[in-house]
Chains A and B, each alone.
Chain A
Amino acid sequence: MKQLRTLLSSWDALLVVLLLLAIILGTTLSPYFLTPFNVASLTKDLMEKAIMALPMTLIIIAGEIDLSVASTLGLASVVLGVTWNAGVPLWLGMVLVLIIGVAAGALNGLLVTRLGLPSLVVTLGTLALYRGLAYVVLKDQAVSNFPAAFTNFGFGSVPGTLIPWPFVVFLILALVFLGVLQWSWLGRQIYAVGNSKEAARFAGIRVANLKLGLFMLSGLLAALAGIIFTARFSSARPDNALGFELDVITIVLLGGVNIFGGRGTLIGVILSLFVIGAVRNALGLANISGDIQNIVVGSLLIFSVLGPNVAQSIREVLTHRRLAVGGVTKKE
């Protein structure tokens, strides 16, 4: 009984239930939902968000947030398109884009760590700035004449299987992140910083440098996601991945990462990734537009923080009552 209760109260178990519900929803909405082809395409659709969710998990655990990831993705995509149009070799363009991503993250990180500004406001500003720069660079144009080898990487799959290439990239990154966060000193430091910045500093952790590094990592992976997005749709447009930050942050928080930092696991985030992916895919198969799907995702975002709060309040009320009852029996 007790074991059952701990199992039920664990957030990961809840996520498994949510995932099952999403799969049931999907199969009732469309007979194609559970076909291998659809599962592969569902996974493919998720990969940019998945790649950005990895560093976002670390940033939120460290007590900060990065709202600018989708804009960095858009800027990266546009720069890749413009350099390719200008005759720059694709590999060089990609290197340039990754550097821009790191620089974008560094600007966020410097403003947060050196000036002590709240990351919410800084990255809200850069959300507008980076997206704005994407519009400045490419106006309302689009670049779509990318070479086949590049776009094949985007929507092709590992030969002989249905496994999409971007998933391979994500898998490698996820394993690295998992190793670093759960089993390395760096991971311990990230949790420590999120739990108490002061204590972490006294313990000799270079809090500012660590956070700066995390923001740069977030910029780098957002740029990588931008390259994959561009390859997948064979299109560089300034409004690429507009609004993706909603999904990325929802995935991380629904995955059980505490918005105030210090707690959360990557396993939960990966579970919630597929919850969001399955819900979006199922609604998409039912011909429900992205803007209306956002109602569900936005609600899940709020629920992912509200749920634990409500559960805690209920638990507090229950313990109070038990204590009160206990006191009465003692007196008798």
Chain B
Amino acid sequence: MTSTSKGLEEARTASPTSQSRLIRYVSRVRELGLLVVLLLIVVIVSVQVPSFLTVSNLEQILLAIAIIAIVAVGETLVVLTRNVDLSVGSMVGFAAFAAADLFKQQPGTNVLVAILVGCLLGLVLGAINGLIVTVGRVPAIIVTLGTLYVYRGLDFVVAGGTQVSASDVPDSYLSLATTKILGIPALLLFAAAIALIFAYLLHSTRYGRQLYAIGSNPEAARLVGIRSNVMVFSAFLLCGLLCGFAGVLWGARFATVDSTAASGLELQVIAAVVVGGVNIFGGSGTILGAVLGAIVLGTVDDALNLLKLSQFWLQAIDGMAILVAVTLDAFITHWLQRALITRRQK
């Protein structure tokens, strides 16, 4: 009898470790695979077009994906908890217009105030998403499909058909994106800093580990006392905040902002996150992966441009990337699971 209970105990302790090992394997395999794909693209394209591997072009690629990467960090937090946020494009667009319009309505506004307004708006929009999902118990996909259109509609109401152009905003605002510090554009530094902070948060803090826990096994997370509603709410809140900040940067980068700014961004962001190996079923994936996913898609985008292939392929490629990534994930997980089982049997 003691041996049975001991065996049971062993089985109990063995399964979570093998599970977490499995998950770690999956994300490592995915990130390595992604690096190989990235290298392949770089080699193939640079053979065809020598101008691809220049510093200015690489900088161009990174600048193009910096905002997507920031939003992808927020989306990763949400996806880790088995939810999804489809409203990110509308939040970025709304925050971009609100921040930029501030300078038009009240010339002489401090840039810090604009940043604050954008972030605060994002925070409020994210909180609305999070509240309806957690307190209202409505599936995230429904909530955020709804708010995708509601937030965009509100943006239209506020904008009323007007647009903010470069002449309406002070140079200090535009310099948020364009200033170079040690030769690196500020936009890239912002994106890198946010990615690093959240990578640390997810990897090495209690909060981060709890996010993984509720995504990989909600029932177990509840049993160990993690308040999953609070965690999910906070993920939506942070996602909104990052979208708000990304919106402020969007205005600074493009200078011309109207009510359609950043529409359709959600597909690019979700493609980046899923391609980056963040599991859509929650519980696994890293910020590094999501950023890498954004870089791969941005590189493909740039390569299409340089190879003079049609820009009309972009959306189709984003869609294809989502499908290929989730299919690959399904296969890799299946394969690893089987490998682990056979190893355990031995």
Contacts and interface: CB of A to CB of B under 8 A. Distances in A.
A23 B149 CA distance: 23
Contacts of B154: 295
B153 A291 contact: yes
Contact of A139 (B139, B280, B312, B330): B312
A136 B147 contact: no
Nearest to B327: A115
Decide if the interface of chain B is mainly helix, strand, loop or mixed.
Answer: helix
B215 to A, nearest CB: 14
16 contacts: A111-B327, A125-B323, A128-B271, A129-B319, A129-B320, A131-B316, A132-B314, A132-B318, A136-B310, A246-B149, A259-B139, A297-B149, A298-B145, A302-B138, A302-B143, A309-B137
Given A129-B322, A302-B147, 7 more contacts: A117-B327, A121-B326, A291-B152, A301-B145, A302-B142, A302-B146, A306-B138
Contacts of A124: 267, 270, 322
A122 interface: yes
Contacts of A305: 136, 138-139, 142
B136 A306 contact: yes
A130 B314 CA distance: 12
Contacts of A298: 145-150, 153
Contacts of A156: none
Given A128-B271, A243-B149, A302-B132, A253 B142 contact: yes
Contacts of A310: 136
A298 B86 CA distance: 13
A128 B315 contact: yes
Contact of B326 (A122, A243, A295): A122
Interface in A101-122: 111, 115-118, 120-122
Is the contact region of chain A dominated by helix, strand, or loop, or is it mixed? Answer: helix
B57 to A, nearest CB: 24
A236 interface: no
B146 A127 contact: no
A61 to B, nearest CB: 16
Nearest to A71: B319
Interface size class of A (residues with CB under 8 A): 35 or more
Interface in B146-177: 146-150, 152-154, 156-157
A292 B312 contact: no
B335 interface: no
Interface in B75-116: 84
Contacts of A299: 146, 150
Interface string A232-250: 0000000000010010011
Interface in A135-176: 135-136, 139-140
Nearest to A118: B280
Contacts of B312: 132, 135-136, 139-140
Contacts of A139: 310, 312
